[in-house]
């Protein structure tokens, strides 16, 4: 891999060398490296671009890295990855996509990830998106995530987009069975004319299922953000959705929650807050010697931490 691709890998997957354990690295539409283990198999799909990742029941303390990098201007790709996680597993999956565009043509990546998490399995899933390059071509990222949690299973998803993506539509759907738990933590920052749309839909189908959706975002300059969340409580369950956003300059942010309870013991809550940085916060930091811009940067950094 060249220096640009290595930098993208470092940004989206914290990879500075070949990772331990199972991995599949994709660069400019082609496989750039793969490794499997005794418990984790990775197989190329035959009917479409993408891979199947199969994790044996009882696998503990192992990880899978599946980053994608694009450094070729004008490349458009869609990739379909399916994860089959056996019962009683406890694993970490590191995904993420980085796009470097130094040309005039748009580059885009659409990653469609489906998770089938079996009974009592635990998954930590990390997905980072990053863009770089001084070309006029757009960097477009449209991730789709489909989650199926069996009885007692849990998935914690951390999704981060902090820099360089001009347009993104992030779609996540989930079905949560009895005693299963889903936690999604999203962090987004946009600037310039960038656009970011998030769309969560969660069906809570089982007794004592739970979901917690947490979104924190910062919109700067003329960028636009839309946050939608739908939680459907079809059983005795606990659902929580939270959207906190800082708006700056001439940006716009919309938060559109939807809660539907179809069971008398469905307990559903939504919280949303959109506002500018408080003046007293700026003044306090400026009295410590920071400029107004430096103070803003520190507040935003702490908010998205």
All structural domains of the chain with their residue ranges: 1-56+65-84+95-111+125-151, 166-305
Helix (H), strand (E) counts: the chain? 3, 22
What is the chain's pLDDT, residue by residue, as a tens digit (305 residues)? 788 999 999 999 888 777 889 999 999 999 999 999 999 999 999 999 999 999 999 999 999 999 999 999 999 999 999 999 999 999 999 999 999 999 999 999 999 999 999 999 999 999 999 999 999 999 999 999 999 999 999 999 999 998 999 999 999 999 999 999 999 999 999 999 999 999 999 999 999 999 999 999 999 999 999 999 999 999 999 999 999 999 999 999 999 999 999 999 999 999 999 999 988 888 889 998 999 999 999 999 999 98
Distance CA 145, CA 123 (A): 14
Report how far Cα 79 is from the mean position of its chain's Cα atoms: 16
Residue that has been written with the tokens 């809660």 in this structure: 259
190 Cβ contact list (under 8 Å, min separation 6): 196, 217, 218, 219, 220, 223, 224, 225, 251
Rg (CA), the chain: 20
């Amino acid at each position: 891999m060249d220096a640009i691709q290595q930098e993208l890998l470092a940004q989206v997957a914290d990879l500075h060398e070949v990772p331990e354990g199972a991995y599949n690295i994709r660069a400019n539409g082609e496989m750039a490296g793969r490794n499997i283990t005794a418990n984790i198999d990775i197989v190329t799909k035959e009917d479409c671009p993408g891979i199947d990742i199969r994790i044996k029941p009882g696998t503990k303390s192992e990880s899978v890295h599946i980053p994608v990098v694009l450094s070729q201007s004008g490349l458009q790709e869609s990739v379909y990855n399916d994860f089959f996680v056996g019962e009683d597993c406890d694993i970490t999956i590191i995904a993420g996509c980085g796009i470097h565009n130094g040309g005039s043509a748009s580059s885009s990546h659409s990653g469609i990830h489906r998770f089938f998490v079996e009974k009592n399995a635990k998954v930590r899933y990390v997905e980072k998106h990053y863009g770089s390059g001084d070309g006029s071509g757009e960097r477009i990222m449209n991730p789709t995530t489909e989650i199926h949690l069996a009885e007692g299973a849990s998935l914690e998803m951390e999704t981060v987009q902090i820099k360089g993506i001009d347009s993104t539509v992030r779609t996540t759907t989930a079905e949560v069975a009895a005693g299963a738990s889903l936690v999604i933590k999203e962090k987004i920052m946009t600037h310039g004319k960038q656009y970011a749309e998030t769309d969560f839909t969660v069906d809570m189908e089982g007794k004592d299922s739970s979901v917690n959706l947490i979104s924190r975002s910062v919109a700067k300059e003329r960028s636009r953000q839309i946050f939608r969340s739908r939680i459907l409580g079809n059983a005795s369950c606990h659902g929580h959705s939270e959207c906190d956003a800082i708006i700056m300059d001439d940006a716009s942010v919309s938060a559109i929650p939807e809660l539907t309870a179809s069971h008398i013991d469905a307990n559903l809550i939504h919280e949303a807050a959109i506002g500018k940085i408080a003046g007293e916060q700026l003044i306090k930091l400026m009295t410590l010697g920071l400029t107004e811009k430096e103070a803003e940067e520190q507040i935003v950094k702490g908010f998205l931490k």
